[in-house]
Amino acid sequence: MEASFWHRKWERGEINFHESEANPLLTTHFEKLNLAKGSRVFLPLCGKTRDIAWLLANGYRVAGAELSAQAINDLFKELGREPAISTVGKLSRYSADDIDIWVGDIFEVSAEYLGPVNAIYDRAALVALPAGTRQQYASHLMQISGTVPQLLITYEYDQSVIDGPPFSVNEDEVERHYGAAYQLQSLETKQIAGGLKGKVASTETAWLLQKANRQNVKAQPTA
């Protein structure tokens, strides 16, 4: 999927994926990451998500990556913060107290640029990418983060009815991308009221990914 697709979405205000409040799966399950206050959480392809405001309000630091500068300008305005903007390689870095966002191609974000993070919260990145890019993304994410724990949110629906994004990513695919490095636990699966985009029945699942002690650990059932 070309960068121009996402730039057009933001320019036209076609951001139905943007939620007006923090995601309930985040607020319900974030504590399972067992992070101390002040921990730094990385949000790939973050947009201007209200999840960032929730994390900051709850005492966490935020790092993010996003393609659209418009989204990040909107984010800082909504947060009431004035960012310092600098150029880092092919990226722009927007920084304020407890928050750093890199604007540009996420594959240009290196471990050196990102710096240490304690966890990843992926609500809108894996599911936003077409199938041919998701394995590359997952590998890159693990490489730049040091395979820190993740709270991952996925959707599952009949993609022959509508196409993504967000794309349908089932358990087998999560296992394929992450099972060699992480122990996978399904925390909660719920039906999306009214269906995805109001057009197709869909579930939304929160996954806890914790670094595995052995290879190829299978997904754990929901408690």
Q: For residue 213, what pLDDT band results from cuts at 50, 70 and 90?
A: confident
Burial annotation 185-211 (CB, 10 A radius, 16+ → b, else e): bbbbeeeeeeebeeebebbbbbbbbbe
Report if residue 217 sits inside a domain. Answer: no
Q: Residue 218: its pLDDT value, please?
A: 47
- Per-residue pLDDT of 24-62, as tens digits, reads 999 999 999 999 999 999 999 999 999 999 999 999 999
The mean pLDDT of 100-117, rounded to a whole number, is 98
Q: Is residue 33 part of a domain?
A: yes
Position 9 pLDDT exceeds 80: no
Largest CA distance in the chain: 47
pLDDT at position 222 is 46
- Residue-wise pLDDT tens digits, 121-176: 999 999 999 999 999 999 999 999 999 999 999 999 999 999 889 999 999 999 99
d(CA 189, CA 122): 16
Range of the domain at 116: 3-13+21-211
Query: Which segments of the chain are extended strands (E)?
Result: 40-44, 61-66, 84-88, 91-96, 99-103, 119-122, 150-157, 182-191, 202-211
- Whether 221 is covered by a domain: the verdict is no
pTM value is: 0.88
45 labeled part of a ligand binding site: yes
Q: For the chain, how many structural domains are there in total?
A: 1
* Mean pLDDT over each residue of the chain, to the nearest integer: 90
Q: Tell me, yes or no, whether 101 lies in a domain.
A: yes
In a domain, 123, yes or no: yes
CATH number at residue 46: 3.40.50.150
pLDDT band at 223 (very low <50, low <70, confident <90, very high): very low
Q: How far is the CA of 160 from the CAs of 118, 127, 201, in angstroms?
A: 37, 16, 12
Please report whether residue 218 resides in a domain: no
Ligand-binding annotation for 66, yes or no, is yes
Residue 220 included in any domain: no
- 35 labeled binding residue: no
Tell me the sheet residues that pair with 211. Answer: 182
- Tokens 């990451």 found at: 33
User: Does residue 202 form part of some domain?
Assistant: yes
* 212: confidence class by pLDDT, cuts 50, 70, 90: confident
Question: Position 84: which residue type?
Answer: A
Tell me if 102 is assigned to a ligand binding site: no
185, 149 in Cβ contact below 8 A? Answer: no
Q: Would the pLDDT of 6 be above 90?
A: no
Average pLDDT over residues 57-72: 96
